[in-house]
Structure 1
C-alpha cells in the first residue's frame, strides 16, 4: 500500500480543500497521513479516523520557526518512510519540499493553489518570490499541479519546471451538493433563523476576514448601497485568522458593526458548514480579493445559480466570464463594487441570466470528480515510473 503525506500550514486547509482528495486516495488504496498545525478542525477529523502527524507551520517567513518546521517534518518523513509527499499552501510547500528532499522521499508533488507572486505586488517582490519558486521547482519538485491556467502558463514561461512535469487541474466542487434543485429548504424560515427579513435582498461574501480578501472595500461600497436599498443586507461568512494584521481587519469590521446605521444590515455568521443553504438564500455573491489562486467559493456560488461579482485577477477571471456569469471589477475599487451590485439589483432578469449561465459553466468546467481523476492518474503514473526504475 503506497504511503502519502499531505502537508499544509493549517487544519482549515485540510477540512475545506483537501478532504475530497484524501478520501479518494484512500478509496484507491493509498495510506494517507497529514502534517499541519494542530487545531479544532484537525481534532474533529481525528475522531473520524484521519491520521495527523502534527508540526507547527507558520504561514509567514520566520527563519527560526521555519528551520524548526523543516527539521520536524524531516524527522516525520524519515520515520514513516512515505512514497510520496504532497505539499500545499505557499510557506508550507517550500518547507515541506525541502524536508522531503532531505529525507530522500521518492516523489515530491506540489499543488499551487495560487503562486504567491502575482501582478499586484511590486516588481522586486515578484522577482524574489518567482525566483524562490524556480529554485523549488527545479531542484525540490517532481511534479506540479496548478489550479489556475495562468499559473500553468507562468510556470512554463518562467522555467519553474519542465513542461512534462506540470499539469493544470483547475479546481472543482461537488456539483450535486451545490445544486439549487437539491438544496430543499424553506427560504423564509432559513432567513428568519439568521434574522433576515423574508423579502430581503442578500449580498453574500464567503472567505477569511482579511484585508486581501477585499472585505473592507465591500463594506465601504455597502455603506452607500444601504441608502439606496432599504431591503438590502450583507451576509459575511467566515472568521478572522490569528495574525495581527487579520485581527486589525476584524476590528475595522467590528467598527462598522458598531454603527447604528449599518449594524442591523450586516450579518456576521462566522464559519459555517451549511454553505449551499446560505447561497440558496442569497441573491448576489461577491469576492473582491486582491490575490487568489482558483477560488472555490466562486465556483460554489455559480453552481448554486448565483450571479457573481469578483475582481479581475488571476483565478477569478478564469471562473467568472464578465457580462455572462457576472461582473469583474478592479482591485481595491469600492466604487466599481457599488456600481456592479446596483446593476444586478436593478435588473433581475440580468441577475437570473448570469446565474443560469454560471450553473452551466460550473457543470462543464469545475466538476470535482474530473479534477480528482486527473490527480490520481498522475500520482499512479509517477509511482509506476519509480517502480520501473527500481
Structure 2
C-alpha cells in the first residue's frame, strides 16, 4: 500500500499520456513500456489503449501504469461532428487525468488523437518508428499541431515525408541492459519445451507475423539452408493470432512453408513475454523485414552476444556493421540470407567473434543510463513551461 507521502510525490510529477493504436503487443508496445519503466521515477504515466487490446492493457497494469480504455477518434470530413465529439471525449479524459504531455507511440496514434490534444491544450509529440517517405494530404492534417517528433534513427528522419525543423526533431536510439545469457541447462530445457530437436541449430526471428516483416524471404532462405543441412530448425516468436491482419498473414506464411515442403522445420510460438529467455536459447538471430526504423529485437539479441543477420534497410545499418557486429543481407535477397546463415553454422568461431563484438558494441553505445537521460530530456523540452 502506498503512503500518503508517496501519493503526493506521484501527483507532483508531470503526467505523460501514451497513446497506443494497436490491439496486440509488438515492438511499438514493448518500446513504450521500456520508456515508461526508464522514466517512472521522474514522470507519472498513463496509457490510452483500445478496448480490444486486452493483453496490452494487462501488461500496462502490471507495469503500474494507469490504463484508460478509449475509442480512437476517426478523422473524417464527412462525419466531422462525430470526429469532434470523439476527440472531445478523449480531451476531457486527458484533462481529468491532469495530462501534461501526450506521447503518441506511433504515427497512427497521432493521426487519430491530434485534435483531442489540441482541444485539451496538451502538447503532443509523436514517435516515428519506420520509413514514411509519402504521407497523403488527409493524413498530413493530423500532424499540424505536433510539437515534436522523436525518430528512432537518422534514416527514419531522413526519409520522413514532412519537413521537420531541427527545433522539433529528436533522434532517440533505444537501449538494452547487458545481462548474462542463461545457463546451457536452462536453454536445453526451453528448447525441449518448444519442440526443438536435440543437436539442431536453432535460427530465430522475433517479430509479429505481419506483412511488414518479410517472411517470404525467410521461408525461401530456409528452403535453401535446409537443402544443404537437415539439422536446422526455425523459430518464430510474435503475434500470429490476436490481430486480424497477423492472423491472415500467418495463413499466407504457413501456406508458403507447406508449398516449399519445410513447414515441419518451423515452430511458431505466438506472442511470448519471455523473449530474452528465448533469445538466449537461439544459435542465430535473424530479422527479415521490408521496412524498419530501428528494431529493439536486434539490440536485445546483440546484447546477449547472439550473431544477428538482418535486412539492410532503413536504420538497421546504423546498428550493425556488416561482418563486424552482425551480418546484413539485401532486401528480399533470400540467397544472401541463406549464405549468411550457412556461413555462421559452418564457422562457429567466427560467428561467436561477431556476437561478442555485438555485445560489446551494445555495452558502449546503447546503455540504459544514456537512454533514460535522453528520454527525460525530450519530455522536459516539450512539456509546457
TM-score (norm 2): 0.84
Matched residue, 1:82? 99
1:37 corresponds in structure 2 to 50
- SS of 2:69 mapped into structure 1: coil
- The answer to whether structure 1 residue 27 and structure 2 residue 44 are counterparts is no
Q: Secondary structure at the match of 1:321?
A: coil
Which residue matches 1:150?
155
Question: In the TM superposition, what whole-angstrom CA distance separates every residue of 1:59-96 from its partner, at most 9, and x where no partner exists?
Answer: 99998699375444233224434211111112112222
Give the distance between the partners of 2:260 and 2:315, measured in 1 at CA: 37
Structure 1 pair 290/236, CA: closer, same or farther in 2 (3 Å)?
Answer: same
Distance 1:62 1:346 in 2: 59
Larger CA deviation: 80-89 vs 298-307: 80-89
Residue aligning to 1:238: 238
Q: Summarize deviations over 1:308-339 as a string: whole Å, max 9, x none.
A: 11111112111111121222122222222222
Q: 2:112 aligns with which of 95, 105, 118?
A: 95
Distance 2:254 2:19 in 1: 34
1:182-216 per-position Cα deviation (integer Å, ceiling 9, x unaligned): 66743322222222123110111110101221112
d(CA) in 1 for partners of 2:223, 2:307:
21
Alpha-carbon displacement from aligned partner over 1:37-59 (angstroms, at most 9, x marks no partner): 13232135335642111123499
Q: How does 1:54-93 map to 2 (within 5 A)?
A: 54-57=69-72, 67=83, 70-93=87-110
**Partner in structure 2 of residue 6 of structure 1:** 18
3-state DSSP class of the match of 2:170? Answer: strand
Query: Unmatched 5+ residue regions in structure 1?
Result: 119-125
Structure 1 residues 144 and 183, CA gap change in structure 2 (3 angstroms): farther
What residue in structure 2 maps to residue 140 of structure 1?
A: 145
Change (3 A) 1:334 1:33: same
Kindly indicate whether structure 1 or structure 2 has the higher relative contact order, using CA contacts under 8 Å at least 6 residues apart.
Answer: 2
The 1:340/1:380 distance shift into structure 2, 3 A limit, reads same
Instruction: Tell me: CA distance 1:173–1:322, structure 2 relative to 1, closer, same or farther (3 Å).
Output: same
- Correspondence for 2:276: 276
Corresponding position: 1:188 with 2:188:
yes
- Does the 8 Å contact 1:217/1:332 carry over to 2? yes
- Is the aligned partner of 1:171 residue 2:174? yes
Partner of 1:108: 124
SS in 1 for 2:46: strand
Q: CA deviation at 1:258?
A: 5.3
What is the DSSP-based 3-state SS (H/G/I as helix, E as strand, rest coil) of the residue aligned with 1:212? Answer: coil
The equivalent of 1:18 in structure 2 is 32
Partner of 1:123: none
Q: CA distance change for structure 1 residues 257 and 333 in 2, over 3 Å: closer, same or farther?
A: closer
Match of 1:53 in 2: 68
Q: CA deviation at 1:267?
A: 1.3
What's the secondary structure of 2:240's corresponding residue? coil
> How far, CA to CA, are the matches of 2:135 and 2:15 in structure 1?
36
Q: Which runs of 5+ in 2 are unaligned?
A: 1-11
Look up the SS of the partner of 1:209 in the other structure. Answer: coil
Q: Distance in 2 between matches of 1:271 and 1:60?
A: 31
Structure 2 vs 1, CA of residues 255 and 361 (structure 1 numbering), >3 Å: closer, same or farther? same
Residue deviations 1:267-294, cap 9 Å, x none? 1122112222222221211111001111
Report the more deviating stretch, 47-56 or 347-356: 47-56
Instruction: Confirm or deny: 8 A CA contact 2:110 2:142 kept in the other structure.
Output: no
Match of 1:302? 302
- Answer yes or no: is the 8 Å Cα contact 1:175–1:368 preserved in 2: no
- Cα distance in 2, alignment partners of residues 75 and 298 from structure 1: 39
Say if 2:376 is the partner of 1:363: no
Change (3 A) 1:51 1:263: same
**2: distance between equivalents of 1:244 and 1:60?**
22
Partner of 2:6: none
The answer to whether the 8 A contact 2:47-2:60 is kept is: no
Distance in 2 (alpha carbons) for counterparts of 1:288 and 1:91: 23
Q: SS of 1:213's equivalent?
A: coil
Helix, strand or coil for the counterpart of 1:91? helix
Confirm whether residue 128 of structure 1 aligns to residue 136 of structure 2: yes
